[in-house]
Amino acid sequence: MNAHPPADTRRQGIALVTGASRGLGETLGGFLAQEGFHLIATARGAQALDAATRTWRAQGGSVEALAGDVTDPVHVAALRARVASRGRLDLLVNNASELGPSPLVELSQLSLPELRRVFEVNVVAPLALVQQLLPWLERAGGQVVNVSSDAAVGAYPGWGGYGASKSALDLVSRTLAEELRGRGISVVAVDPGDMRTAMHQAVSPDQDISDRPLPSVTLPFWAWLLHRDPADVSGQRFRAQSDRWEVPP
């Protein structure tokens, strides 16, 4: 069984972040680059990803970017090749998410093709990346972070499709944590909380969301998580905007 490397060692390793061009992904990508990770960043929007990459590099980060859709097998194969060229993967952050139609609609009105797309992005794609990158996660004693949502545990009108997909992702995370523990791979789910992002604005285009915190509000949590032994937190679900976080006894 692979031993989990100490946090300081992992911070010199390789991180892959999906949905890295804006919002939480952009904030987290910049943080990881500053923490010493070599960052492999991906997102659908090539221009926004390029702009984020230039910013991270100007701040001294070691970054490579590859634009594409995480549901596209060709793109996933390209990400796999990038990771393979580095020889290891210390951190995989499955942050790319699909909200569904905007504004949101009730489940009774949600088209099945739209629902399938939500599940493809939010559940199938994260699992596919884990499957494809497993050898390099195992080599590094790596950690998988699946970005969840408070909608996964609520029953908010209009959020049914998105919430159901994130609830499924939570179960995938817990199951993978149990199945991969013996291979030295840690898996956690993280609910980042309500934030001022383009995705949240898309929920209600006419609503003023200026009172929501920016994604940087989650940075204390990420700093805390990176200093934990991954084996100690595997299988847990964290709320990034909590007052405190605890490692289970």
For 1-15, 28-42, 149-163, which range has the lowest pLDDT when averaged over its residues? 1-15
* pTM, entire model: 0.91
Q: State yes or no: pLDDT of 9 exceeds 50.
A: no
Q: State yes or no: pLDDT of 51 exceeds 50.
A: yes
Domain range annotation of the chain: 7-239
Mean pLDDT of all residues in 140-162: 94
Question: Residue 209 has what pLDDT?
Answer: 62
Instruction: Write out the two tokens for 37.
Output: 């990770």
Mean pLDDT of all residues in 78-88: 98
Question: Residue 85 has what pLDDT?
Answer: 97
Neighbouring CB atoms inside 10 A of 212's CB total 15
Spatial contact of 46 and 23, defined as CB atoms under 8 Å apart: no
Q: Which residues are catalytic?
A: 162
Question: Residue 243 has what pLDDT?
Answer: 86
Buried b / exposed e across 97-135, counting CB within 10 Å, b at 16+? bbbbbeebbeeeebeeeebebbbbbbbbbbbbbbebbbe
CATH architecture of 7-239: 3-Layer(aba) Sandwich (3.40)
- Report the candidate in 203, 195, 189, 198 with the shortest Cα–Cα distance to residue 241: 195
Q: State yes or no: pLDDT of 4 exceeds 70.
A: no
Helix axes 160-180, 125-140, angle to 10 degrees: 30
Q: State yes or no: pLDDT of 203 exceeds 50.
A: yes
Strand, helix or coil for residue 145: strand
40 pLDDT band, cuts 50/70/90, is: very high
pLDDT in tens, 168-190: 999 999 999 999 999 999 999 99
Strand, helix or coil for residue 46: helix
